Amino acid sequence: MTQRHTRLTAIPPLLKTSLCALLLALSPASQAAGMADNPEVQQFIGAMQALHGLDAEALNLRFARIAPNERVLKLMEPPAKPGQRSWQRYRSRFLDGTRITRGVSFWQEHAATLAKARVLYGVPEEIIVAIIGVETIYGRNTGSFNTLEALATLAFHYPRRAEYFREELEQLLLLARENSADPADYSGSFAGALGIPQFMPGSQRRYAVDFDGDGRVDLENSATDAIGSVARFLEQHGWEKDGPVAVPARLAGDPDERWLEAGIRPTLVAGELLQQGVRAEADPARKVTFVDLATPNQATEYWLGYENFYVITRYNRSSFYAMSVYQLAQALRQRYQASQEVVARQD
């Protein structure tokens, strides 16, 4: 101890100050910083050890190395001055030339896998491709946030949805153990979604499949696993094989408020809506949801959504999202069929 002090005092004052700071940063006491000193984190670690047998010491070290991510919290918060919701603005983000062109290429490259998923799970190719296109532009934008840090930030510093994100944090730790991986090595969206299809950790554990048969589920690098997993997710949430998704509707006046208040799950009988002035090419016996897609200073679009429309909202609970997926799917189907006709003529 005396020798170390003697050598240190011989160092110029400015350099000595910097070196002291470095030594302090590397000291055992400093390693207890980060999130590990949060009582709620400690309670969570204890629960993970008790419920799942996870190593508390290892979890303490991991949480000590991360801190709340302010950018994650900022991205989760609604804008201070929220603008008007606009269907056309939202739609333009996903129905663009890039997603359609790349989507057709993705379909062509993975045609056999997509056909296999359709046969096994009953979900059309264009719906699978559209979801992957909306989520990550076919794997090109999977996110660069550290998933452990993002989920921990939201689990312990975002009270509005803390319970949900703590559950997903728990699922991430279990997913990492199942894959013999370090939970700190996962990256994805600011909300914790992972890989090509942007599955939350819990969804990956419940619905993801090893569709390429290599012995492991890899949603980060395997488009084949991503395709099978998206199809299985939809199938497990009630996708109706060969069932309709949505049909446009027209009204002479304003919609009945009760139709809008009925919610996103199909509970309205199409035939009754037709009798009340809704004009649509709808099966009168089927149950539907009444969908209004508003754009400021433009006429509101109305649609009747079937069970399959509702199933798409299980991926993202938004009618804007589900309709974007559906309309992108239609555009992809049309463009893909046209490309196949060109190939057939050339042959």
| CA R_g for the chain | 26
pLDDT, one tens digit per residue, over 61-72 is 999 999 999 999
Pick left, alpha or beta for residue 213 (phi over 0 → left; psi -120 to 50 → alpha; otherwise beta): left
Out of 2-11, 46-55, 138-147, 329-338, which region has the weakest mean confidence (pLDDT)? 2-11
pLDDT, one tens digit per residue, over 287-319 is 999 999 999 999 999 999 999 999 999 999 999
pLDDT attached to residue 347: 66
pLDDT attached to residue 27: 38
Mean pLDDT value of segment 185-192: 97
Mean pLDDT value of segment 173-197: 97
220 noted as active-site residue: no
Three-class DSSP labels, the chain: CHHHHHHHHCCCHHHHHHHHHHHHHCCHHHHHCCCCCCHHHHHHHHHHHHHHCCCHHHHHHHHHCCCCCHHHHHHHCCCCCCCCCCHHHHHHHHCCHHHHHHHHHHHHHCHHHHHHHHHHHCCCHHHHHHHHHHHHCCCCCCCCEEHHHHHHHHHHHCHHHHHHHHHHHHHHHHHHHHCCCCHHHCEECCCCCECCCCECHHHHHHHCCCCCCCCCCCCCCCHHHHHHHHHHHHHHCCCCCCCCCEEEEECCCCCCHHHHHCCCCCCEEHHHHHHCCCECCCCCCCEEEEEEECCCCCCCEEEEECHHHHHHHCCCCCHHHHHHHHHHHHHHHHHHHHHHHHHHHHC
Catalytic residue among 125, 126, 135, 235: 135
Please check the confidence at residue 7 and state whether its pLDDT lies above 90.
Answer: no
Query: What is the pLDDT confidence band of residue 282, given thresholds at 50, 70 and 90?
Result: very high
pLDDT attached to residue 343: 74
pLDDT attached to residue 10: 42
Angle (nearest 5°) at CA 198 between 194 and 199? 75
pLDDT attached to residue 226: 98
How far is the CA of 60 from the CAs of 47, 55, 67, 132, 165, in angstroms?
13, 9, 13, 36, 19
In the chain, the largest separation of any two C-alpha atoms, in whole Å, equals 94
Start-to-end CA span in the chain (Å): 84
pLDDT attached to residue 140: 96
pLDDT attached to residue 82: 60
More confident residue, 32 or 215: 215
Please say whether the beta carbons of 230 and 128 come within 8 A: yes
pLDDT, one tens digit per residue, over 199-251 is 999 999 999 999 999 999 999 999 999 999 999 999 999 999 999 999 999 99
Please check the confidence at residue 261 and state whether its pLDDT lies above 70.
Answer: yes
pLDDT, one tens digit per residue, over 77-109 is 877 666 678 999 999 999 999 999 999 999 999
pLDDT, one tens digit per residue, over 105-160 is 999 999 999 999 999 999 999 999 999 999 999 999 999 999 999 999 999 999 99
Out of 18-22, 37-41, 250-254, 308-312, which region has the weakest mean confidence (pLDDT)? 18-22
Please check the confidence at residue 2 and state whether its pLDDT lies above 90.
Answer: no
Q: Angle between the 111-121 and 125-136 helix axes, to the nearest 10 degrees? A: 110
